[in-house]
Amino acid sequence: MTPIQTKLLSVNNVLKSYDTDSEKENELTSAPICTAYQSNCTKTRYRSYDGSCNNLANPTWGTPNNPYENMVQSNYADGVNSWPTASDGGSLPNTRDISIKIFIPKLEIEHKWNLNTQQWGQIVAHDLSLTAGPDKAKLERPVCCDDNGHIAPDASTHPLCHHIPIPPDDDFHVPEGKQCMNFIRTTSTKDINCTGPNDLASPLSVVTSYMDLSLTYGNDERHAKAIREGSGGRMWTTVRNGYEWPPQTGNIKKDCIGVHSTDEPCYLLGDTRGNQSPQLTALHIILVNEHNRIADALSTLNPHWDDEKIYQEARRIAIAETQHINYYEYLIILLGKNNMINKKLIYPQHKDYVNDYNPNVSAAIYKEYASAAFRHFHTMIRGYLNLITEDRILARSVRLSDWFNRPALLEKGDGFDDLVRGLSYQAADKSDEYWDFEVTRFLFKGNHSSGGDLRALDIQRGRDHGLGTYVQLRAHCDLSVPDTFKDLKEYMSKENVQKLKELYESIEDIDLVVGGSLEKHAPGALVGPTFLCILLQQFLNVRIGDRYFYENGKDQDIAFTLPQLNSIRNGASMARLLCDNGHKITWMQRRAFELVSDENPLVRCDELPAVNLTLWQESVPEEKVVETQ
């Protein structure tokens, strides 16, 4: 057995608990456990992998296997975890029916923001949450609706099953003979005996809630060590065709169900969802490459540093760069710069530390954020991906559904660079109620002629999590509360109000996922006021609830020096991230989430500001000098 094969065997043994269920959009099948840390926390320079002891007084805050938080009271019918019902006690409208009638396919293209504005959102989302899948001890593989779309025997009896029936007027799936779409309920605190039988159940997230690049480094020490090279502070990569790639996973057919051959690439990454779509995988590789680029530079600058020191410092810098990009470049597009300033999420032109860490604030993720507000941006997905050459000429266009869970596209010719350039050059869909067929008819279709419906799944997941209703969240956000369907015309189009009236018996029943997505945008934002309220509060908590947030200088043992911090502020950008970590990318627009234009032209990569890594150079300690003489 070769050294690589030996390491893969070891890695696969370590990562058995990260096994994924390929039929579900973003869930983990391993059973979570109630989190408990017995040891006292000590201050360390570096983050833990699992987020523990970020908050010294509350060491479990932000750790995996913890429940989502609620902004409003959960909406379960029995007050515990049973499926929500309408206000009159009847059933809520079918989620596939809602998708067909409201979230229709209509190509409305963005005139300012590119496809990376949509795709980077998945990086942010995956960094902060991952909904827990079914407990294998209860059911090895719950199938409520089989691969052919037929209702399975356990559909009406198993507590985890809540399939989506195909409506009789579904002119796409009915002719195929499909009866349902599979849906399996999230593992909650009740399922793992963390709450009493009559206590409110809460769905679980199985990754850290901190913005800590856990999708790159893993969510515990075992996973982190398994994807490290073990020297030079580097992440593990292998060389093919002259370029470095993340290592191959040991179970290609299971981890990348879309592959046509076991010879195709399928990468071992810090997050189980990393191979889900080619653009997502490309960004994962960009982040791995960035870590290794920084590690190589630090190794040269500080030859006396050992592997661990180089790795942790590179990790620390990469996380800071990503936090800066997220808050000062990406989120301002979605939430509006002035809205973020007013809520104290960002401090533009600030040259000192921003000491806003609050140990009384948890960075835990709200289910209203994870299951509704941030998922709205699925509407910006494009069904066809443009691969773009360095001359910004279309090389080819591929269908998204042909490449779900099949990252081989990246290693076909210049596929990796062409996809990365495509993200920055192709326009996104608008943030609106119109959705692409590729994700409402062909989601994860594999070898089948059709697939799932992401919008229907989003709405169904919101009910699974007992989300408060649209009206309840407007009240929570101190927004005007509609009493009748007619009142909704103040917030959304009269056409959509009419559709809601035809689908829902009462205004009190409108799902948050649905109502929030139909609101007219708030000033400066790409969402309406209800989702904006949720998102601003969530990203404020993620910032001020993180002791290690890169702008914090209260604790000098973990803070960057001011020159280092300001170099990150001035040099970290999406454009630089893409330039530095593509294979042959030499031109990029400065604002890399924005389409190329006369105001945002292409420039040479070496003209872009960069983080000055020499600021991390340390003089060799005297004892080290003596040792080498």
How confident is residue 37, by pLDDT bands cut at 50, 70 and 90?
Answer: low
Block residue for tokens 């005139």:
111
75: exposed, middle or buried (Cβ count in 10 Å: 0-12, 13-18, 19+): buried
How confident is residue 35, by pLDDT bands cut at 50, 70 and 90?
Answer: low
Contact 480, 490 (CB under 8 A): yes
pLDDT of 259 higher than 60 = yes
Block residue for tokens 């810090």:
270
Query: Angle CA(248)–CA(249)–CA(253) in degrees, nearest 5?
Result: 115
3-state secondary structure of 110: strand
Q: Mean pLDDT throughout 420-428?
A: 98
**Predicted TM-score (pTM) of this structure:** 0.93
Q: How far apart are CA 157 and CA 85, in angstroms?
A: 18
pLDDT for res 28: 32
pLDDT of 485 higher than 50 = yes
pLDDT of 19 higher than 60 = no
Percent of residues, the chain, with pLDDT higher than 90? 81
| Other C-beta atoms lying within 10 Å of the C-beta of residue 347 | 17
| Other C-beta atoms lying within 10 Å of the C-beta of residue 309 | 17
pLDDT of 135 higher than 60 = no
Lowest-confidence range among 9-13, 110-114, 376-380, 514-518? 9-13
Q: How far apart are CA 591 and CA 616, in angstroms?
A: 27
The tens digit of pLDDT for each residue in 369-388 reads 999 999 999 999 999 999 99
Query: In the structure encoding, which two tokens stand for residue 187, read together?
Result: 């593992």
pLDDT of 565 higher than 50 = yes
| Buried b / exposed e along 428-445 (16+ C-beta atoms within 10 A) | bbbbbbebbebbbbbbbb
Closest CA to 163 of 139, 182, 186, 178: 182
**DSSP assignment string, 173-184:** TGGGT--EE--B
Which residues fall within 8 angstroms of residue 113, CB to CB, at 6 or more apart? 333, 380, 427, 428, 593, 594, 595
pLDDT for res 99: 97
The tens digit of pLDDT for each residue in 47-91 reads 999 999 999 999 999 999 999 999 999 999 999 999 999 999 999
Cα within 13 Å of Cα(234), Cβ side: 17
If one compares 417 and 16, the residue with the highest pLDDT of the two is 417
3-state secondary structure of 128: helix
pLDDT of 254 higher than 60 = yes
pLDDT of 39 higher than 70 = no
Q: Mean pLDDT throughout 453-482?
A: 97
If one compares 21 and 451, the residue with the highest pLDDT of the two is 451
Query: In the structure encoding, which two tokens stand for residue 563, read together?
Result: 């020159």
pLDDT of 518 higher than 50 = yes
Query: Angle CA(127)–CA(129)–CA(135) in degrees, nearest 5?
Result: 130
Strand 587-589 to 243-245 pairing = unpaired
- Chain length of the chain: 629
Query: 3-state SS of 539-593?
Result: HHHHHHCCCCCCCCCCCCCCCCCHHHHHHHHHHCCHHHHHHHHCCCCCEEECCCC
How confident is residue 10, by pLDDT bands cut at 50, 70 and 90?
Answer: very low
| Other C-beta atoms lying within 10 Å of the C-beta of residue 520 | 11
If one compares 479 and 14, the residue with the highest pLDDT of the two is 479
The answer to whether 476 is annotated as binding is no
- Work out whether the CA dihedral 11, 15, 16, 18 comes out positive or negative: negative
**DSSP assignment string, 386-409:** EEE-TTS-EEEEEEGGGSTT-GGG
C-alpha distances out from residue 560 to 317, 400, 552, Å = 9, 41, 8
pLDDT for res 627: 53
pLDDT of 290 higher than 70 = yes
Q: How far apart are CA 351 and CA 349, in angstroms?
A: 6
Query: In the structure encoding, which two tokens stand for residue 354, read together?
Result: 């921003």
pLDDT for res 16: 43
pLDDT of 18 higher than 60 = no
Tell me which long-range contacts 478-486 makes (C-beta under 8 A, separation of at least 24): 479/529, 479/530, 479/533, 482/507, 483/507
Q: Mean pLDDT throughout 152-166?
A: 89
User: Longest C-alpha distance within the chain, in Å?
Assistant: 84
Q: Mean pLDDT throughout 414-434?
A: 97
3-state secondary structure of 514: helix
Is residue 126 part of the annotated active site? The answer reads: yes
Chosen CATH of 68-130+201-616 out of 1.10.640.10, 1.20.1260.10, 1.20.1600.10, 1.10.10.10:
1.10.640.10
pLDDT of 2 higher than 80 = no
Q: How far apart are CA 90 and CA 84, in angstroms?
A: 10
Q: How far apart are CA 595 and CA 364, in angstroms?
A: 34
CA dihedral of residues 339, 344, 349, 350 (deg, nearest 10): 180
Query: For the chain, what is the mean pLDDT?
Result: 91
Lowest-confidence range among 4-13, 65-74, 337-346? 4-13
pLDDT of 155 higher than 90 = no
Indicate the DSSP class of residue 617. -
The tens digit of pLDDT for each residue in 605-624 reads 999 999 999 999 998 766 66
Tell me which long-range contacts 347-352 makes (C-beta under 8 A, separation of at least 24): 347/551, 350/551, 351/562, 351/566, 352/553, 352/562
Query: In the structure encoding, which two tokens stand for residue 556, read together?
Result: 């000098």
pLDDT for res 323: 98
- Looking at 111, 126, 158, 465, which residue is catalytic? 126
| Buried b / exposed e along 124-140 (16+ C-beta atoms within 10 A) | bbbbbbbbbbbbeeebe
Indicate the DSSP class of residue 349. T
How confident is residue 9, by pLDDT bands cut at 50, 70 and 90?
Answer: very low
pLDDT of 138 higher than 80 = no
Lowest-confidence range among 160-164, 188-192, 523-527? 188-192
pLDDT for res 154: 81
| Other C-beta atoms lying within 10 Å of the C-beta of residue 425 | 24
For the chain, the first-to-last Cα distance in angstroms comes to 40
pLDDT for res 36: 53
Strand 587-589 to 602-604 pairing = antiparallel
pLDDT for res 3: 45
pLDDT of 224 higher than 80 = yes
- Work out whether the CA dihedral 379, 543, 365, 214 comes out positive or negative: positive
